[in-house]
Structure 1
């Protein structure tokens, strides 16, 4: 059964994690889904979780699900905030969306300790510095 469901890999999309300064002056981090395509994407589902080793023990975070009704072409949508405590874990994002009646699917993994300033680059569309996987 599961072998029968094999959606094509999503292309022209990215995930990014960027520093975010809040209105009260405190800082945090935001995770974005980025549509690098001309077409609007509908029914975007993003599942997130973290996993790895912390203090010598296997750790797995809760899985969160986020639904984005529509993401316009060449646009970014905030998905969730992320805390620095989980940067030492692998942070995984499964993205699924519909386009032209076809479902597309892709996994993005920010490996442990990759989210640091030395790995920053300019994120297109957002015009901010951060870490992006496309």
Structure 2
């Protein structure tokens, strides 16, 4: 009966880590965003993040977004640079219509850096993207 269960693939939802200027503190901060590049709204978006390596694991961070409108994005969290030496995992679960979908996004250790910047969809900035 396992063969009868169909798990839909998540498309057009991304996680990006962007280096942005913070006008309040006059610093450059790394922020994680969720991007909805779909033509429909996402409802009840749950995001669970943590960082880990063989020797270390961070505390778990949870965020809920009631509705993430189509073709939009939302900030998830500020990411201190010390976390980039770890694997950073984002588990995302959401409803698209009446169907629940989920996907795990992984930034491998040391892949978030200024040399890895690329254009980010919908945001008109450069950052590191996981699809």
How far apart are residue 6 of structure 1 and its match? Answer: 7.6
Q: How far did residue 7 of structure 1 move?
A: 5.0
Where does residue 11 of structure 2 map in the other structure? Answer: 11
Aligned counterparts of 2:9 and 2:56: Cα–Cα separation in 1: 28
Q: How many matched pairs?
A: 127
How far apart in 1 are the matches of 2:62 and 2:7?
Answer: 19
Q: Is the 8 A contact 1:8 1:103 kept in 2?
A: no
Q: What is the alpha-carbon distance in structure 2 between the residues aligned to residue 7 and residue 101 of structure 1? A: 14
Alignment of 1:1-134 (within 5 A): 8-24=8-24, 25-53=26-54, 58-134=55-131
Unaligned runs of at least 5 residues, structure 2: none
C-alpha separation in 1, matches of 2:27 and 2:7: 41
RMSD of aligned alpha carbons: 1.6
Query: Structure 2: how far apart are the matches of 1:94 and 1:113?
Result: 19
The verdict on how the C-alpha distance between 1:79 and 1:6 changes in structure 2, with shifts beyond 3 A counting, is farther
Paired residues of 1:7 and 1:105 also in contact (CA < 8 A)? no
Q: TM-score, normalised by structure 1?
A: 0.89
SS at match of 1:21: strand
The secondary structure found in structure 1 opposite 2:8 is coil
